[in-house]
Copies of this chain bind each other. A is one copy, B any other.
Amino acid sequence: MRKNNKGITIYDIAEKLKVSPTTVSRALNDHHSISKETTLSVKKLAKKMGYRPNSVASNLRKNKTNTIGVIVPLINRPFIAALISGIEDTASQSDYNVIISQTYDSYKKEVATAHTLYSSRVDGLIVSLAMETRQYDHFHAFLENKIPLISVDRIAPELETDCVAIDNHSAGFKATEHLIEMGCRRIAHLGGAQHRNTYRGRQQGYLDALKKHNLPIDERLVVHSKLSMEEGRESTKYLLGLPNPPDGIFSANDSAAVSAIQYAKLKGWHIPQDLAVIGFNNDPISSIIEPQLTTISHPAHDMGKIAAQQILRHQEYGHIVQSQNTVLKTEVIVRDSTQRKITTSSIHRNSA
């Protein structure tokens, strides 16, 4: 007895079986107060009729959507794709859906997206902030209504949420120290916008490593950009054109590092003899470039899994769950772009 062109509802099943919709609902959910025979016959008929529960209705009544919202700058980056993959992985194991939105690093889009996802009544939100974002009011609704909100990778202290991130300072420090161990004495840094924790941390680590090893800090060797391939090329052109060019480059991402290598090679520089280069993220391109790029591992997939788990835990245990900040480990993945001499250091060797 289907209505117009709609799907089958529990009412249709109830009618045929001469029971109430309540019973059907309970039978489908294995409620204990329904007899085995009834449960069986309901399920059987449901299957036969091709019944598919309407989770919109269920969500409304239960005030729960089994959905995790995700806001990221741009999907189409190896690091972000891995992050999402991790989230989706964990979520789907617990029958959660994942809604994804991109901000394209625009504050305005981030605001609109946050509102939309709140309206969708997601059960939790995972955010990696847009580059532009400096205000955080658009997340207030989540905080006020105790909807778990987790910042990943790009985080902000102003936004009082649980965080999952890496220790960018330590990573930047290790990267720079690795170059120093490889014999570099004049190290440049390709950095990103300093109001985002990630790039700021990496640069600070770079500076502190220089200080620790009593190397002079030359501001001309620090170049900020969006770290695209194009900008990496331009920055490198500038650096190598200096009267006193660097003998090592620490780039805050792999794209810029790779284009640095490409440009330097084009101009006749030998990598790593004349110029050692270390990147960040361990993107696929890092192991394709020649020489293969030494870089910093970035546990994006794990980050996604942990963030999702944290939300699921909130769902399960309510607000008993303590606020929790996770800092993930990174490693220097040593490849040929920095191997200027045999090293006895204990740094993990990897040539994937």
Which residues of A are interface residues toward B (Cβ below 8 A)? 5-7, 50, 52-57, 59-60, 63, 65, 67, 74-78, 80-82, 84-85, 88-89, 92, 95, 97-102, 109, 113, 115-116, 118-121, 140-141, 144-146, 258, 283-285, 288-290, 301
With a cutoff of 8 Å between Cβ atoms, the chain B residues found around residue A283 in the complex are 284
Interchain nearest-CB distance for A248 vs B (Å): 21
Structural contact, B65 and A76, CB atoms closer than 8 A: no
Select A97's contact among B99, B115, B285, beta carbons within 8 Å. Answer: B99
**Chain B, residue nearest A74 (CB):** B85
| Nearest CB of chain B from residue A6's CB, rounded to whole Å | 8
Instruction: Tell me if A55 and B88 are in contact (CB < 8 A).
Output: no
- Interfacial chain B residues near A60, Cβ < 8 Å: 54, 56-57, 60
The answer on a CB contact under 8 Å between B102 and A92 is yes
* Number of chain copies forming the complex: 2
B119 touches A54 (CB 8 A): yes
When the two chains form their complex, are residues B52 and A118 in contact, meaning their CB atoms are under 8 A apart? yes
**Which of these, B54, B67, B100, B285, contacts A88 with CB under 8 Å?**
B100
CB distance from A286 to the nearest CB of B (A): 9
28 contacts between A and B (CB under 8 A): A5-B145, A50-B141, A52-B119, A53-B119, A54-B60, A55-B120, A56-B60, A56-B65, A56-B120, A57-B60, A60-B60, A75-B75, A76-B82, A76-B85, A80-B81, A85-B102, A88-B101, A88-B102, A89-B102, A92-B101, A97-B99, A98-B101, A99-B100, A283-B284, A284-B285, A285-B285, A288-B288, A288-B289
User: How long is the Cα–Cα vector from A76 to B120 in the complex, in angstroms?
Assistant: 26
A140 to B109, CA, bound (A): 36
A121 — nearest CB in chain B belongs to which residue? B56
Cβ of A120: which chain B residues have Cβ within 8 Å of it?
55-56, 97
- Say yes or no: A75 contacts B65, CB within 8 Å: no
- Contact A97-B116, Cβ < 8 Å, known A50-B141, A92-B102: yes
* Contact across chains for B288 and A258 when beta carbons are under 8 A apart: yes
A5 and B146 in contact, given A56-B65, A60-B56 (Cβ under 8 angstroms): yes
A97-B116, A145-B5 known; A121+B54 contact, CB < 8 A: yes
CA distance A288 to B78 in the complex (A): 15
- Which chain B positions have C-beta within 8 A of A50? 140-141, 144
- In the A-B complex, the 3 residue pairs with the closest CB atoms: A76-B81, A76-B85, A55-B119
The residues of B that contact A54 with a CB separation of less than 8 Å are: 60, 119, 121
Check if A75 sits within 8 Å of B88, measured CB to CB. yes
Among residues of B, the one whose C-beta sits closest to the C-beta of A283 is B284
Distance A95 CA – B119 CA, assembled complex (angstroms)? 12
User: Counting chain B CB atoms within 10 Å of each CB, which of A101, A116, A121, A284 scores highest?
Assistant: A284
Give A338 Cβ to nearest chain B Cβ, in Å. Answer: 18
Give the Cβ gap from A110 to chain B, nearest Cβ, in Å.
12
